[in-house]
Amino acid sequence: MSRIVVAMQELKEKIANLEAALRALSQGPHPLLREEATAPSSTSTETLASPSGSPSQASGSNGSQPSPPEESHSEEGEEEVLDAFGTLTLGTRGEARFFGQTSRTEYLIHAPERLGPTGNFLTLPRLTQVTVDEACKELDVFCTNEQVAEELLSCMPTMEQALRLCDIYFENSKFLWYPLPREYVYTEIVLFIYQPPTGDYCHVTKKHALSLLFMIFALATLYDLTMPPYSAEAMEYYLLARIALRWAPPTYDTTLAAIQSLLYMAQYLEMSDCEPAHTGSHKAWVQTRHICTLGYSVHVSGCKWQLDDVAIAKRARVFWQLFAQDTWLSFGFGRPPSINLAFVDCDIPKPEEIMSQNGTNWSTEFHVWSWQFSKVLHNVMTTAFAATSPTYAKIIELDKRIRDFPDPPCILPPTGPSSPNASDNITRTMQSLLVTLSKDTTHLNLHRPYLSQALKDSPEDPLRHKYGASVMIIYRSAWRILNALQSAYRTASGITTRISLPWSHSLACAILLCLMITRAPTSALANPALVELDKICELFEEAANSSQIATNNIHVLRKLRKQAHAAITKVMAEDAALVNSELDRLGGRTQLIRTVGERRLVYCSAVRFGNYELLTRQKEMSVFETQPNPNGYVQGFVSRDQRTDDPLPNPPPYDTDEFNFYFSGGQAQPPPPGQVQQQHAPGASAQMPSGHNIDWIQSFLESTAAPPQSQTQVQAATEPVPTSAEMDATWQALVAQLGI
């Protein structure tokens, strides 16, 4: 080692002498004496220090100077990342909210809005204000109010109603949430709560089981097609589940039943959220973070402690539900996930068989597939949307990995000669819709920046751009999402209109299609994109009478459509200069929004759900504060002892210009290049079964004198990335042109 140091010192001295001699002999500045030529190169130093290095390699490194271009490229990459962090909103009172580059479109649309408080609240007919206040307290605070306990028990549905809600829960669990085993629900929860053994003590397990049962009721009521959407009964069950957990706070007594109940609470908040401010989704994201903290231990396989196979499988199923929930909520808000797979030692469990109401079994392979795909999405998030941008080759590699990920066999049509079942057809259609959303929304977020670059560089024919592959991938993914939503709406409109996710992603697709049309109106994709945009606008118009999420964003679709048609007909809007900033922000570009003053918006809707007038009065809502759902969702509460009967006059038609979205303007093939029921205390007509036989359910239903409840009506029909300033500034310029 000392010899190398001595040799290097001798070489430095010789170089210094040669440079001095060269200066003395040269009449003018010699090219070899420039600062960049005489600066030491990290590559040449490394070559000299390497035993295998040769003088020719050293001189070649100095001559070619690869380091400066690499540093320049690194700086450009960093600049691009800094301009793709998303949207940050700052209010006058210091409140802040962040939406990352993969945020759902409707979150970004309403991010700038600051909605004022309101005095109108959702009425919860069976709950007093004391109970509501107890339910809204933190879950780590013990509840010792006996009055609340008595009120909770009085709100229990009858046994017959409970069994009916359980059937709805199991039917929709085939594609919306992971189900608990039917035998476990009926024998260890329902019967345990309604027919407790003599002298049984209300211990922690029973309290958590009661909370879990209330969440089963809440989810089932949310998708009970005989009830209005976002009904007050569903929120009542949710609040009662929180109180039951507070009898034995999971912070101190953590059980699998408590974690499962919390998971269902987060899913309920996200599924029932239909207000523009999306307060429920924010609560769901925060609560999922809390569940991740409580759930640490299930991320490690139970075989490490020699648990039995049944316990290992239960823990694994709870963990992967939590993992998928955290990953997708984080992806929807453009925020990093809270679970690091490097610390996970828990295999995805195999699908299990769940007994149906008619005695047949169905598999949970769709849910297992969703867990497996969540792992892929987690890798995509940490690779493509991390602090360092990947190369375009890496984006294509991630895209191929998603595209090659096999679809679950359950979405394939049956091959046998048996007649199609309406319920099975609905299940298969909804599963296919969710598979399409999972894969193609990932494609859209991966390729969106490259679409903007292609539209900027080659508006005449973006398909011939070096990022033309991204243009075609985005068009095809948007086409698949829109057609999957159309198919699901035609097959099961009642369920489809209550799920916000497909409508959210369809709105994002409409924005991307409008970009293609307005920025490249002469390209081969412009006219096919306009056809698809017209279809999705018509679908939103049709669904606006039954879907609040469609109602909230229909005015955006109308303006997108107007802008697209104006571009195709060569009629450009007068406000072309103002159309260039908002769509880029919706696409995830960094933007800071400062609220100059308090802004109030009047949110009105005359939407009717079946025979229910869900909103006929003027309401004010808030993005940042807890506010009411104009269509029955719960943010603020009015108890039965605090109702007010002060009807407001009917408001004038809602002016969509208040939102400040300034716009100027069959299946197609992609181109080749319920009334509220009165609840009673549980009856005692059922008898305690022996063992785990659940045949008592049928005998109970046959022996009860009460008339059977109407069943849910099923509806069926048979290189590296270019310079930073270019990539995201281009997306900003493009999105702004649509004037959202």
Q: What is the pLDDT of residues 11-38, one digit of tens each?
A: 887 887 787 777 766 656 666 665 544 4
Higher confidence at residue 398 or residue 125? 398
Locate the domains of the chain by residue range.
1-51, 128-275+278-370, 389-583+692-727
Residue 234's alpha-carbon distances to 88, 227, 629, 633, 732, in angstroms, are 33, 10, 13, 9, 41
pLDDT at site 624? 33
Higher confidence at residue 7 or residue 91? 7
Q: Report the chain's mean pLDDT, rounded to a whole number.
A: 73
215 pLDDT exceeds 70? yes
Burial of 680 (0-12, 13-18, 19+ CB in 10 A): middle
pLDDT at site 707? 45
What is the C-alpha separation between 267 and 321, in angstroms, rounded?
11
Q: Which residues contact 555 (CB under 8 A, 6 or more apart)?
A: 656, 659, 661
What is the C-alpha separation between 534 and 537, in angstroms, rounded?
5
Q: What is the CA radius of gyration of the chain?
A: 30
User: Averaging pLDDT over each range in 517-531, 570-584, 620-634, which range is the top one?
Assistant: 517-531
Which range among 59-73, 173-187, 299-313, 566-580 shows the weakest confidence by mean pLDDT?
59-73
pLDDT at site 305? 78
Residue 552's alpha-carbon distances to 7, 272, 387, 394, 500, in angstroms, are 75, 14, 33, 37, 11
Task: Report the predicted TM-score, pTM, of the whole model to 2 decimal places.
Answer: 0.68
Of 268, 262, 273, 202, give the one whose Cα is nearest residue 236: 268
Q: What is the pLDDT of residues 426-447, one digit of tens each?
A: 999 999 999 999 999 999 999 9
pLDDT at site 353? 82
Of 244, 238, 239, give the one whose Cα is nearest residue 221: 238
Residue 161: other Cβ atoms inside 10 A: 17
250 and 139 Cβ atoms separated by less than 8 Å: yes
709 pLDDT exceeds 50? no
